[in-house]
Amino acid sequence: MSRKYFGTDGIRGTVGTAPITPDFVLKLGFAAGRVLSAKAASAGQVSHPTVLIGKDTRISGYMLESALESGFSAAGVNVLLVGPMPTPAVAYLTRALRLSAGIVISASHNPFNDNGIKFFDGRGEKLSDAIESEIEAAIDQPMQCVASADLGKVRRLDDASGRYIEFCKNTFPSSLSLRGVKLVIDCAHGASYHVAPPVFHELGAEIAVMGHEPDGFNINSGVGATHPQALAERVIREQADYGVALDGDGDRLIMVDRSGTVFDGDQLLYAIVKDRLRHVSVEAVPGVVGTLMTNLGFEHAMHRLHIDFRRAKVGDRYVMEMLKETGWLLGGESSGHILCLDQHTTGDGIVSALQVLAAIVRFNQPLAALVQEFERYPQTLINVPMPAGADWQKAPGVTQACADAQKQLAEQGRLLIRPSGTEPVVRVMVEARHAALAQSTAQAVANALRRL
């Protein structure tokens, strides 16, 4: 359904530009509070609903947190504040404390001058489209503060970090240890800076830490899951076994081995699947969900393991939806969003890293050896400028070029054409077993688009 403010992962934008402004966020808190209060009343709950608000380390988080908590309080909703905390930590705490909702102030892997608001329901899962639409409708209604006696109370939850650290540790098999493993943990100067290092250290690993000195402006800047080269250099310098790179809000994971080789989300998910098959049960992995951007080599690798594989639209939200539809437990994106629903209700970079490390320990093999059967196909991506509204899908030259490309690729490659959601371009992506075939096929389709 069409929505005005909510995207695939909450509401996001540049700070100071609508909708990421204090006045809008105040209205958003009030609107969400009214929707939650109405649902509580319909369920026969007399007491105030309670929500939990966390944030990453952006300087704008202070401003938006104040506006959001004011809006909820004005709607008669109690608020628990946890300060800087990873997105998956907010999901966990919301569920563990039996709260009505959890809210994260974060723009994930974006630079510091962006920010956003995303919601979790009481189960620790992202809000449904229907509830987001209700909140959007309420935003446009006039604000009318509840009576003073009915205002929501606001307080801090002081032990939030400790609770989440213990939760993460409990997702690592109790029979295993990380003793003898040296790790470099890159927290991206983000929300995981104070919780990720203790998790790995308390499980026995020797650790070095980077990206753990946030100043409000340096989140994701040259570090973290979106810039793994800095971690690769540090791992080599430290002579560590592995590097763990998180993004600014802690829900993505990229890893590096001692040679500096970078492993993306597809490869890490493959290691987890392989471990579940060998050390849990074949029944534990009836199928795996990827996205339209998941490497074709991953799909072929799943078929060799006799695992069903399906593609969702790009975005971990859609991976989650397909996992719910199928009843499967594992899915993810190449970017490092990995969902292990047998461990958590949402993507969690720390938890995902622990699943990969458990596989390494149980197989007693390095990560490169674990994923060597997964052959990543070379990929070519070309962005073709395209005016908004251009009907390129039905242009005869384009349809013929696509048909020719599919014939050339056969089962040895894949063509994907999709309009960008943020730029006036059409993205042409081709994967093939051989790089030259990927390049020539993508170029032929791009040229057909350029001729329009």
138-150 b/e (C-beta count within 10 Å ≥ 16 → b)? bbeeeeeebeeee
Angstrom distances, CA of residue 368 to CA of 96, 178, 243, 256, 414: 36, 18, 13, 10, 25
- Which amino acid appears at position 388 of this protein? A
Q: Give the Cα separation of 248 and 211 in Å (integer).
A: 10
Active site residues: 108
β-pairing verdict for 330-332 and 338-340: antiparallel
Any residues with CB less than 8 A from the CB of 395 and at least 6 apart, and which? 448, 452
Instruction: Please enumerate in sequence order all residues whose Cβ is within 8 A of that of 71, keeping only pairs 6 or more positions apart, or say none.
Output: 25, 26, 27, 28, 29, 30, 31, 32, 33
Residue 355, Cβ neighbours under 10 Å: how many? 24
Sole residue written with tokens 């009318």: 144
First and final CA of the chain: distance in angstroms? 31
Dist. CA 132–CA 150, nearest whole Å:
25
8 A C-beta contact, residue 196 and residue 246: yes
